[in-house]
Amino acid sequence: MVADVVRFAVGLGLAWCAVMESAAGALVLVAVGNGIAVFFSSSSFALLPRLVPADRLPRANGMMETGQWVMQIVGPSLAAVTLAFGGAGRAFLFDSATFAVSAVILWVLRRELTAVPEAGARDGMGETRDSGNATDAKPWVDFVDGIRIILRSPAIRSLLLASYGVAFLTACTNYGLIFLIARSLALGPSSLGYIYSLNGAFAVVAAIAVTALAKSTHLGRIMALSMVGLCVAQVVIGIAPNVYVLGVGVAISALSNAPYNVAVSSLYMSRIPTAYLGRVEGIDTMVDNFANVLGFIAASLAVLWWSPRGIFLVSALAVAPCVLLAFLRVAPASREPEAPPQGNVEDMEVKA
Instruction: Tell me the pLDDT tens digit for each residue of 276-318.
Output: 777 777 778 788 888 888 888 888 888 888 888 888 888 899 8
Residue 143 pLDDT exceeds 70? no
User: What is the rounded distance in angstroms from the CA atom of residue 163 to the CA atom of residue 220?
Assistant: 12
3-class DSSP assignment, residue 348: coil
Residue 215 pLDDT exceeds 50? yes
User: What is the rounded distance in angstroms from the CA atom of residue 74 to the CA atom of residue 52?
Assistant: 27
Residue 33 pLDDT exceeds 80? yes
Output helix, strand, coil percentages for the chain, rounded to the nearest 5. 85, 0, 15
Q: What is residue 352's predicted lDDT score, i.e. its pLDDT? A: 37
User: What is the rounded distance in angstroms from the CA atom of residue 306 to the CA atom of residue 300?
Assistant: 10
More confident site: 197 or 4: 4
Torsion of CA 14, 15, 18, 19, to 10 degrees: -140
Distances (CA, A) of 224 to 169, 170, 219, 295, 318: 15, 16, 9, 20, 15
User: What is the rounded distance in angstroms from the CA atom of residue 29 to the CA atom of residue 23?
Assistant: 10
If you average pLDDT over residues 121-142, what whole number do you get?
46
The angle subtended at Cα 179 by Cα 176 and Cα 181, nearest 5°, is 105
pLDDT bracket for residue 243 (50, 70, 90): confident
Q: What is residue 156's predicted lDDT score, i.e. its pLDDT? A: 82
Contact by Cβ (8 Å): 321, 252? no
Q: What is residue 228's predicted lDDT score, i.e. its pLDDT? A: 94
pLDDT, the chain, mean: 78
DSSP class per residue in 183-228: IIS---HHHHHHHHHHHHHHHHHHHHHHHHH--GGGHHHHHHHHHH
Alpha-carbon 113 to chain mean position? 25
User: What is the rounded distance in angstroms from the CA atom of residue 180 to the CA atom of residue 144?
Assistant: 42
If you average pLDDT over residues 163-169, what whole number do you get?
89
Residue 338 pLDDT exceeds 50? no
pLDDT bracket for residue 130 (50, 70, 90): very low
Residue 225 pLDDT exceeds 90? yes
Which of 50-64, 274-288, 321-335 is most confident? Answer: 321-335
Q: What is residue 179's predicted lDDT score, i.e. its pLDDT? A: 85
Contact by Cβ (8 Å): 6, 103? no
Residue 146 pLDDT exceeds 90? no
Q: What is residue 252's predicted lDDT score, i.e. its pLDDT? A: 93
If you average pLDDT over residues 49-77, what whole number do you get?
77
pLDDT bracket for residue 173 (50, 70, 90): confident
DSSP 8-state symbol, 121: E
